[in-house]
Amino acid sequence: KGGNAVYFNNPMWPGEAHSLKVEKVLFKDKSDFQEVLVFESATYGKVLVLDGIVQLTEKDECAYQEMIAHLPLCSISSPKNVLVVGGGDGGVLREISRHSSVEVIDICEIDKMVIDVSKKFFPELAVGFEDPRVQLHIGDAAEFLRKSPEGKYDAIIVDSSDPVGPAQALVEKPFFETLARALKPGGILCNMAESMWLHTHLIEDMISICRQTFKSVHYAWSSVPTYPSGVIGFVLCSTEGPAVDFKNPINPIEKLDGAMTHKRELKFYNSDMHRAAFALPTFLKREVGSL
Ligand code: AAT
């Protein structure tokens, strides 16, 4: 910390620090899993920080939650059973709830404190928990998936933290095998996949694991100013079954009943952003091979 700013240093981004001006610290505590901090910033609204890493800010959360939810759900027709891994703030649930075809939204979050803090300080995200289709499971997602019935889900969205701390196991091959097993034939996965500027080797590892486990693998990305380097990526995979053309949404949000008239307006995602998200810089194409 320095003055009234908070500086985020982390081995995940060596040699640089990110900072935000703090107006007021609203909450600080240690859960069984991580340190949880909420503060009011000068320019991004309220900020949720876990173990010294920004998870979301009120101003730019739309660019992450809307993309991680609609990139997969608009790529298949009529998704019904959806699982969220992590995502205890409720923002991804809020986005999934725009899809009226969805019947069940399971969520497995390890840390109840994240949910409680979100309900108190981020009601615009925690509103996602009010959807009656949501079934909350508190526990480790690696264990939840080991016990999950085979072929249950049309889509799984992994909105988990960086692979330091409780999310460590969620980047390893056995976890991806359980994800693939829990999906229906033709079911899809959308997994948070770090920054192409900072974590090319993590992305490469994740893509190579996914290529061994899934039928097709793609990478998409979004601009999120308060994440390290200002961008975040997503790995999108489909299992053996009906082919999925991720790059051209078959289930466009603009045509979905209620998706646009949902109580909260979409701020970031639309079908143009969807298609654009799959355009990759040359260095990334070179490093991860053709996708
Ligand atoms: N939507 C906000 C963005 C997040 S939150 C990630 C969530 O994953 C946290 O609430 C954390 O408690 C939860 N989590 C971590 N490990 C596990 C686990 N093993 N099982 C279930 N939930 C878990 C992610 C922001 C990404 C930031 C990128 N730099």
**Ligand 1: which residues within 6 Å by Cβ?**
50, 53, 55-56, 65, 85-89, 91-92, 108-111, 114, 140-142, 159-162, 166-167, 170, 192, 227, 232
Report the pLDDT value the prediction gives residue 28, as an integer from 0 to 100. Answer: 98
Contact 194, 139 (CB under 8 A): no
Among 110, 114, 129, 234, say which to mutate for ligand 1: greatest number of ligand atoms within 8 Å of CB. 110
What letter does residue 17 receive in the DSSP assignment? -
User: What is the number of the ligand 1 atom nearest to the C-alpha of 68?
Assistant: 1
Compute the distance between CA of residue 56 and CA of residue 46 in angstroms, rounded to an integer. 8
Strands 35-41 and 53-57, by their bridges, are unpaired
Does the annotation mark 245 as catalytic? no
% of the chain beyond a pLDDT of 90 = 88
Mean pLDDT of 131-141: 98
Residue of the nearest CA to atom 17 in ligand 1? 167
Q: Return the minimum-mean-pLDDT range out of 77-81, 210-214, 254-258.
A: 254-258
Report the pLDDT value the prediction gives residue 86, as an integer from 0 to 100. Answer: 98
Report the pLDDT value the prediction gives residue 122, as an integer from 0 to 100. Answer: 98
Out of 159, 205, 245, 257, pick the active-site residue.
159
Mean pLDDT of 152-169: 92
Q: Which two tokens stand for residue 179?
A: 């994800």
pLDDT in tens, 275-286: 999 999 999 998
% of the chain beyond a pLDDT of 70 = 98
pLDDT at 291 over 90: no
User: What is the number of the ligand 1 atom nearest to the C-alpha of 170?
Assistant: 19
Rama region for 58: left / alpha / beta (φ>0; ψ in -120 to 50; rest): alpha
pLDDT in tens, 36-52: 999 999 999 999 999 99
Measure the CA dihedral 200/19/56/244, to 10°. Answer: -20
Report the pLDDT value the prediction gives residue 273, as an integer from 0 to 100. Answer: 98
Sorting pLDDT into bands at 50, 70 and 90, what band is 257?
A: confident
Report the pLDDT value the prediction gives residue 100, as an integer from 0 to 100. Answer: 96
Measured distance between the N- and C-terminal CA atoms of the chain, rounded to whole angstroms: 41
* Edge-to-edge strands, sheet with 134-138: 134-138, 104-109, 81-86, 153-159, 183-192, 231-238, 216-223
Residue of the nearest CA to atom 15 in ligand 1? 167
User: What is the number of the ligand 1 atom nearest to the C-alpha of 167?
Assistant: 16
Question: What is the CA(149)–ligand 1 centre distance, in A?
Answer: 23
pLDDT at 27 over 90: yes
Question: What is the CA(163)–ligand 1 centre distance, in A?
Answer: 9
* Spacing of C-alpha 229 from chain mean position: 17
Compute the distance between CA of residue 159 and CA of residue 184 in angstroms, rounded to an integer. 20
Rama region for 186: left / alpha / beta (φ>0; ψ in -120 to 50; rest): left
pLDDT at 289 over 80: no
Sorting pLDDT into bands at 50, 70 and 90, what band is 242?
A: confident
Report the pLDDT value the prediction gives residue 290, as an integer from 0 to 100. Answer: 65
Question: What is the CA(255)–ligand 1 centre distance, in A?
Answer: 31
Nearest to 185 by CA among 236, 149, 238, 148: 238
pTM attached to this predicted model: 0.97
Amino acid (one-letter) located at 65: Q
Among 33, 107, 109, 202, say which to mutate for ligand 1: greatest number of ligand atoms within 8 Å of CB. 109
